[in-house]
Amino acid sequence: MLSRKTAQVALNTIWMQSLGQLMVLYFLWIFICGYSESERVQDLMSRSPLIDGHNDLALQLRIHHSNRLSHIDLHNVSIVATDITRLQAGQVQAQMFAAYVLCGAQDKDAVRLTLEQVDVIRRMCTEYKEFELVTSAQELRNSETRHKIACLISIEGGHSIDSSLPALRMFYQLGVRSMALTHTCNTPWAESSSKHYSVYQREKDSLTDFGKAVVEEMNRLGMIVDLSHASWDTARAVLNHSKAPVIFSHSASYSICNHSRNVPDWLLHELKKNRGLIMVNLHSRFISCRDKASISQVADHFDHIKEVIGAESIGIGGDFDGAMSFPEGLEDVSKYPALIQEILQRNWTESELADVLRGNFLRVFEEVERVRDQLSTNQPSEIQIPFKKAENPCRLVFRPPDLRSLPNLSSRDQHRPAGLLILAIVTVLSSLFMIQ
């Protein structure tokens, strides 16, 4: 028989060997699980690549390059957070590019500036073979099978149409398929969530009759109504009036971060009734209410909104190149897999995440088009905003000018045309005499 001491040594040896084996198995498990999670995300996103609801690359192209695409290569663009290489790395298959102009252009040249932004988006999405401009849900689906990055065009701010339904229709003809009713300024017909500008202040009139006409015309056209930047009262009024689902293209949860740009729970419930979509914004200020945020805090917004209205009402709208700061690890469009991995670790199913990545947006887009088809017999709206409502000194009243009100010409200007005529007659006569 073994002595007590020998037995103890043998047991210790066996225990140490077992512990070593367990440690090896543990680290092997960690390695395998870490690898499989990353692979699982890549596999999921390859099957359901992202449709991102909001990106401001076009704004940065104007700021840094004056929209001169010939001076840059969109495969690799410094300073900005978006280029073709990083979109591909982030598994972004479709991007809603915003045509945005500053609120300071309202009542001035907002329409011209917006046209120029639409032009640069159309150019970049037709001049690069990796991109494809799409204007329907079916074209969006088809672009995935062709392995293209689909480009959708949105207008960020109703001031871009200068309170004109014909201008809205012309933007639709140019390929615009979504419009945010406001940006950081009120329009004559809708109220912003921001108080930065004091223009068009109203009491208890967050969506005017003309504003309802804008929503109705967008429903008729098949253009997605975007409520990001709209006040809560305006959003509620739109949700009660729109026949089609609407979106918040880049907003987060007010319960997690009490910023006025975010959406409170009571409004989320109204959105659920509308069958609409909130596409979670990644701007740090809207995530943590501070300049710094983490991926975990972003995932908290997804968890909360899922708990309130379900995963079927959620999408992603990063706001890259529009916001100033983003969570650590989500600095540009290539980092989306890190966010999906964080959410996947929180017991979301792959089916739920596939809908968040693209399925939910496709459903909304298709329902917007179904409403358009149902309204196809309706004629284009001819409703006009009253001049006194627009308060715009640049709006011209279409009527012949009163000649009596025109400024008097100086005596020099009055004689100049006659002098030129006499000179012309003399020149012609001289020519004739020379010919003879």
Q: Is 250 a catalytic residue?
A: yes
Active site residue 73: no
- Point out the catalytic residue in the list 83, 132, 156, 321: 156
269 among known catalytic residues: no
Contacts of 211 (CB under 8 A, 6+ apart): 181, 187, 189, 190, 234, 237
Provide the CATH number for the domain around residue 255: 3.20.20.140
**Secondary structure class of 29 (helix, strand, coil):** helix
183, 259, 283, 301: the catalytic one is: 183
Residue 145 corresponds to which tokens in the numbers above?
């099978």
Give the pair of three-digit tokens for residue 98.
């915003």
Pull the structure tokens for residue 58.
């076009």
Residue 385 lies inside a defined structural domain of this protein: yes
Q: How large is the average pLDDT for residues 148-175?
A: 98
- Tell me: the pLDDT tens digits for 19-40? 556 554 544 444 445 557 899 9
User: Does residue 20 fall inside a structural domain?
Assistant: no
Does residue 44 fall inside a structural domain? no
Neighbours of 370 (CB within 10 A): 14
Residue type, 292: K
Any catalytic annotation for residue 156? yes
Q: Is residue 40 part of a domain?
A: no
Number of structural domains the chain divides into: 1
Tens digit of pLDDT for each residue in 146-156?
999 999 999 99
Residue 428, in any domain of the structure: no
Residue 412 within any structural domain of the chain: no
Is 403 part of a structural domain of the chain?
A: no
Residue 408: what pLDDT?
63
For helices 110-127 and 165-173, what crossing angle results, to 10°? Answer: 10
Kindly state whether residue 22 falls inside one of the protein's structural domains.
no
- The one catalytic residue among 159, 250, 259, 283: 250
54, 259, 283, 301: which one is catalytic? 54
DSSP assignments along 62-97, one per residue: HHHHTT-GGG--TTS-SSSS--HHHHHHTTEEEEEE
- Domain coverage including residue 130: 53-389
What is the reported pLDDT for 198?
A: 85
pLDDT (tens digit, 9 = 90+) per residue, 357-404? 999 999 999 999 999 999 999 999 999 999 888 877 788 877 777 767
Per the confidence metrics, is the pTM higher than 0.75? yes
Catalytic hit among 229, 259, 283, 301: 229
Q: Tell me how far apart the alpha carbons of residues 22 and 29 are, in angstroms, rounded to a whole number.
A: 10
Active site residue 355: no
